[in-house]
Amino acid sequence: MSSFASRYTWRWLLPPVVDFIIFYLALAMTLSFREPELVNLTTALLFLPLFLSWIAAIFTVGLYELRVARDSVALVRNLLFSMAACMLLGMTYFYAIATELKPKTHLILAVVISHALIFVWRRAWLWMLNFDLLDQRFVFLGDEEHLREIEKGMHHHTRDTGLKVVPWQWPGVDIVVADAPWVDQNWEAARDVILAAMARGVPIVTMEDFYESIFGKVSPYYAASPSWALEFIMPKRHGVYSVAKRTIDVVGAILLTLALAPAMAVTAVLIAICDGRPIFFTQQRAGFLGQPFTLWKFRTMRAGADARSGLPGENAHDAHVTWLGDMLRRFRLDELPQLWNVMKGDMSLVGPRPMWMKEVETLEKSVPSNHLRHLVKPGLTGWAQVRYRATTTVTGAIERLHYDLYYVKNWSFGLDVSIILKTIKRVLISDATVNAIPSPVMPLPADAGWVLDLSTTYERKYKLGTPEPTFS
């Protein structure tokens, strides 16, 4: 195994593995004090599904993010959230199965002890990182200005990745990042490094793969080129997961509808009492391959507020939202009727958010690659929703596209599960508290003048104080 692979495994696999061991250690300590005869293999197997769900809960509240681990206040806060979630999962699990074990006291002690140990473990983990034991050192073969832009963005990610740029040295290099066009034009300068890396088994990755792994989105350079889809993004309609995904969507939508029916009924009654009829809001949105469909939501704006052009002003948009609608949007309750769209097949549980047809018509006149996001079904939640904040501007819509294209390129069962878990956390925080993580200003292809043209158009049009156009 390469040095890079070894360090990558340590950095991302060790925390959940140690957490899993801590759960069993806390359980053994609890049972040793109260019922030592239960410390056996049968008990260990009984707790296995529960502990796996606890790992998922810890992931959901962000305890595997090093930024959280480095912030003591955030660490304690998220540990408290995790304790509550683990306790709820434990009570649900043990009361759903038949067992002679009395879980109440055992659960309380196991949860408290395990989370105290996890706090100590997180601080120890940070102490290990301070010694650069897990740093990944990379050589960059590309334009120096390009590298400077990437490093500016990496400043906000370095603590999570341990990445440091270094000149070629052996030993001491874990990975080589190569910008293919630059290598073609500067082969004499790149040859020695590439050949040395190949001879020593050092991984060589493209700049695009490197960029995606760090920033979680397709770079603007490739997103600006529609031909990029010929290599990376084509409809995935014949794979095994595409069939399984539809089954998961239907079953999941039915179960969620049944579970959330009381909340939807209360919401409908509140809208009828506070804002009157209609209760529901419908709008034409772009679905799979851009085909229009009728999207259902609980109404959050005054009746008739959508009867406007595709680029309404931001302030005007906010003025149309009712006070009840603002609360519903805050906790995403207005999106619940879209479970019907999922059951019908218009949408998926996970995918790019469906765009308003007027928004699509506006963007696709200027953004050549915007239609690529329609190569998968739109979803109730998506990668852009958990990695980026809700956008209200043309510039934000283009930035959102980069995240959507990342999903279209990489969609899989694992990515969908990750998005669902992150969505639970995302629903609990306000968009106003979410700042977009700075990303590098990448150079664009020579034929991508539409970006500058689009910016210039809107800068000139809204320079005199007119609100920048927004999308709802």
Domain ranges of the chain: 3-129, 136-215, 240-461
The residues, ordered by sequence, that sit 6+ positions from 412 with a Cβ below 8 Å of its Cβ are 241
Q: Is 361 helix (H, G, I), strand (E, B) or coil?
A: helix
What is the biggest distance separating any 2 CA atoms in the chain, rounded to whole angstroms?
Answer: 78
pLDDT at 464: 38
Asked if 34 and 105 count as a contact pair (C-beta separation under 8 A), the reply is yes
Residue 439 has what pLDDT? 54
Beta bridge partners of 284: 294
Cα–chain-centroid distance for residue 284? 26
Q: Please indicate, yes or no, whether the overall pTM of this predicted structure exceeds 0.75.
A: no
Candidates 472, 251, 216; CA nearest to 348 is: 251
Count of CB atoms situated within 10 Å of the CB of 127: 10
Residue pLDDT tens, the chain, 472 long? 344 445 556 667 888 999 999 999 998 898 888 778 878 888 888 889 889 999 988 988 878 876 677 666 678 878 888 998 898 888 888 777 756 665 667 788 889 999 999 988 888 887 776 544 456 678 888 878 777 777 777 666 555 555 677 777 777 787 888 888 888 888 888 888 888 888 887 888 888 888 887 788 887 767 766 666 666 665 555 667 878 899 999 999 999 999 999 999 999 999 888 888 888 989 999 998 889 999 999 998 876 655 454 444 444 455 578 888 888 887 888 899 999 999 999 999 999 999 888 888 877 777 777 888 888 899 999 998 888 876 666 777 778 888 898 898 888 887 888 888 788 877 766 555 555 555 555 555 544 454 444 444 444 443 433 444 444 4
For residue 298, give the H/E element and its range: strand 292-298
Q: Does residue 171 have a cis bond before it (omega within 30 degrees)?
A: yes
Q: What is the DSSP letter of 308?
A: S
pLDDT score, position 344: 93
* Residue 258: exposure state from Cβ atoms within 10 A (0-12, 13-18, ≥19): exposed
CATH 3.40.50 fits 136-215, yes or no: yes
DSSP-derived 3-state class of residue 358: helix
User: Token pair of 447, please?
Assistant: 């034929």
β-bridge mates for residue 296, sequence order: 282
